[in-house]
């Protein structure tokens, strides 16, 4: 991953065509964050509850039953899974660009259904269609960005992806904070209407987004790949023919290194697979659904703070998470950020649980709001980003795709389990734990920190050869950072070093330009 020290080299690596394409694709990630946040926030609005909820004669208010709340926040996940497979089918057979355009159309359909909804079933259907778009996005965008951008910024795409998503949710919080003051259905319809602007803008600008040169080479469309590379590198002195040849060699090499499913649990791969599964599970089991999906509803039930002001503050603070990670990851390392952020996440959740015990006062309720508002910052630094980055870096090249599928399935299953069970844990007449659910997620977060200490390795600054040697030697995760490899002078180490430099600097040393070769 790149840090702030690399910003200068990143600037020189881009052409205007690359930057425009990158910005349009990143807008889709912003849309993903905005759309996801809209549904989580508008369900708190009185007019939304009146339109789609049921009347409770005992309280004289409208609201959602526990079952309907569970359906609204969890049934989108099977749709998200379906969207991932739809995206894979279209992206693999018809191209990344066609896939990118198709998912914007899917988003528009979901928004239209949601905007015109008058019954609970219709708003649920609209949200499921939008979740299908989000699953589509999850599969395509990180890979698409990596395939059209220079090597020197590939690591930064993870941070851009997380930041654009979080920033989208923050902008949503600003809009819903204002529209919540309106009377009637306009309060929730305006945020949904704003959702239309992003896919429509992207469709208008989609002609500026090129097809992935790597995908074209894989499909043996060499002439088209050359044309796309020329477009992306317009204004730069790049040997396009050499880049195409390099891509062909890389694609052939990858085709020869595909492992079997059984290899995931063989030899040192077992350890690496378990790390990927561990990071995927703790990404969802450490309370993020409690804060992001149910946070505003829960704060509304406390009746001590405007839930929309809470959402605005929480998401504003959360936007700092990717920036802190981006600035520290290369200097501080992945493990320290993960362990410190994870420990703080655990502490905040435990404090939340503790404030829910004994006599519940308004002071305790305000304390719960405060700790939940800070939660997002430390979650993103640990379970939300560092664990995912390291989990993606650990698989063997032969097994990367299969490991990603396993980790993705673990993440979806855990997300569904948490999202569906939360209303039953929070509300009477079921568990009625209220803020004491912090003990559950805090305990799981503590387990995540302990597992991170013993099993999450420090991979910062290591070449592929060094890492492979360390896996084979079964170096404990906590000793990865200080272990001295005999492979430091290897070709792979030199290549890794070159990948952190600008293309011009590499050429000046007599190296080979690897602008579009994905890092293993």
Would you write out the chain's pLDDT as a tens digit for each of its 520 residues?
444 455 555 566 678 898 899 899 999 999 999 999 999 999 999 999 999 999 988 788 899 999 999 999 999 999 999 998 999 899 989 999 999 999 999 999 999 999 999 999 999 999 999 999 999 998 888 888 878 877 656 656 666 778 888 999 999 999 999 999 999 999 999 999 999 999 999 999 999 999 999 899 989 999 999 999 999 888 777 788 888 888 888 777 766 667 788 989 988 899 999 999 999 999 999 999 999 999 999 999 999 999 999 999 999 999 998 888 878 877 788 899 999 999 999 999 999 999 999 999 999 999 999 999 999 999 998 998 876 677 667 887 678 778 888 888 898 999 999 999 999 999 988 999 999 999 999 999 999 999 999 999 988 777 666 777 888 888 988 888 888 766 544 434 444 444 444 444 444 444 434 333 333 3
Dist. CA 48–CA 86, nearest whole Å: 31
Contacts of 476 (CB under 8 A, 6+ apart): 454
Last residue of a domain, one of 212, 238, 273: 212
422/488 same-domain check: no
* CA-based nearest residue to 37, from 409, 291, 326, 373: 291
Question: Quick check: is 401 in a domain?
Answer: yes
**Predicted pLDDT at 260:** 83
149/271 same-domain check: no
Contacts of 142 (CB under 8 A, 6+ apart): 157, 158, 161
Question: Quick check: is 29 in a domain?
Answer: yes
Question: Quick check: is 404 in a domain?
Answer: yes
498/450 same-domain check: no
Sign for the CA dihedral angle at 419, 424, 425, 428 comes to positive
Question: Alpha-carbon Rg of the chain, whole angstroms?
Answer: 24
Question: Quick check: is 246 in a domain?
Answer: no
* Residue-range definition of the domain harbouring residue 42: 1-212
Question: Quick check: is 243 in a domain?
Answer: no
507/430 same-domain check: no
Question: Quick check: is 337 in a domain?
Answer: yes
286/416 same-domain check: yes
376/499 same-domain check: no
Question: Quick check: is 219 in a domain?
Answer: no
Question: Quick check: is 322 in a domain?
Answer: yes
Q: Quick check: 289 and 415 in contact, CB under 8 A?
A: yes
**Predicted pLDDT at 491:** 36
284/386 same-domain check: yes
271/413 same-domain check: yes
297/365 same-domain check: yes
336/386 same-domain check: yes
205/334 same-domain check: no
Number of domains in the chain: 3
**Predicted pLDDT at 519:** 36
CATH number for the domain spanning 50: value is 1.20.1250.20
34/131 same-domain check: yes
């Amino acid at each position: 991953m790149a840090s702030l020290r690399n910003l200068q080299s990143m600037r020189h690596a881009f052409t205007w065509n690359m930057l425009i394409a990158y910005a349009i694709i990143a807008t889709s990630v912003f849309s993903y964050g905005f759309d996801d946040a809209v549904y989580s926030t508008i369900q708190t609005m009185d007019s939304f509850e009146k339109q789609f909820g049921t009347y409770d004669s005992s309280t004289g208010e409208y609201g959602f039953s526990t079952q309907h709340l569970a359906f609204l926040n969890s049934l989108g996940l099977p749709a998200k899974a379906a969207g991932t497979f739809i995206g894979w089918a279209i992206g693999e057979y018809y191209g990344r660009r066609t896939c990118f355009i198709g998912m914007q159309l899917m988003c528009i359909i979901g928004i239209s259904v949601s905007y015109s909804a008058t019954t609970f079933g219709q708003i649920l259907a609209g949200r499921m269609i939008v979740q299908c778009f989000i699953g589509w996005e999850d599969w395509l965008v990180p890979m698409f960005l990596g395939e059209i951008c220079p090597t020197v910024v590939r690591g930064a795409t993870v941070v851009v992806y997380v930041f654009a998503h979080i920033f989208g949710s923050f902008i949503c919080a600003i809009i819903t904070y204002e529209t919540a003051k309106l009377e009637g259905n306009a309060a929730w319809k305006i945020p949904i209407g704003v959702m239309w602007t992003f896919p429509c803008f992207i469709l208008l600008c989609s002609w500026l987004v090129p097809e992935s040169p790597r995908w074209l080479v894989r499909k043996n469309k060499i002439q088209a790949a050359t044309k796309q590379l020329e477009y992306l590198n317009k204004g730069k002195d790049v040997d396009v023919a050499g880049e195409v040849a390099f891509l062909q060699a890389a694609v052939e090499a990858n085709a020869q290194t595909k492992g079997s499913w059984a290899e995931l649990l063989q030899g040192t791969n077992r350890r690496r697979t378990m790390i990927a599964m561990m990071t995927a599970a703790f990404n969802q089991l450490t309370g993020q659904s409690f804060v992001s999906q149910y946070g505003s509803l829960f704060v509304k039930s406390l009746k001590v703070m405007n839930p929309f002001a809470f959402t605005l503050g929480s998401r504003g603070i959360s936007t700092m998470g990717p920036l802190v990670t981006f600035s520290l990851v290369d200097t501080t390392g992945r493990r320290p950020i993960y362990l410190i952020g994870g420990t703080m996440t655990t502490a905040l959740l435990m404090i939340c649980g503790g404030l829910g015990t004994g006599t519940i006062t308004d002071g305790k309720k305000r304390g719960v709001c405060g700790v939940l508002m800070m939660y997002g910052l430390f979650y993103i630094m640990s379970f939300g980003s560092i664990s995912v980055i390291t989990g993606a870096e650990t698989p063997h090249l032969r097994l990367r795709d299969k490991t990603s599928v396993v980790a993705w399935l673990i993440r979806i299953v855990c997300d569904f389990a948490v999202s569906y069970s939360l209303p039953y844990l929070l509300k009477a007449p079921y568990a009625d734990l209220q803020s004491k659910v912090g003990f559950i997620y805090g305990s799981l977060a503590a387990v995540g920190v302990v597992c991170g200490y013993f099993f999450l390795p420090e991979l910062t600054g290591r070449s592929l050869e060094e890492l492979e040697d360390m896996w084979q030697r079964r170096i404990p995760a906590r000793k990865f950072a200080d272990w001295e490899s005999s492979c430091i002078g290897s070709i792979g180490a030199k290549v890794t070093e070159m990948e952190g430099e600008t293309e011009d600097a590499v050429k000046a040393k007599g190296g080979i330009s690897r602008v579009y070769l994905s890092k293993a």
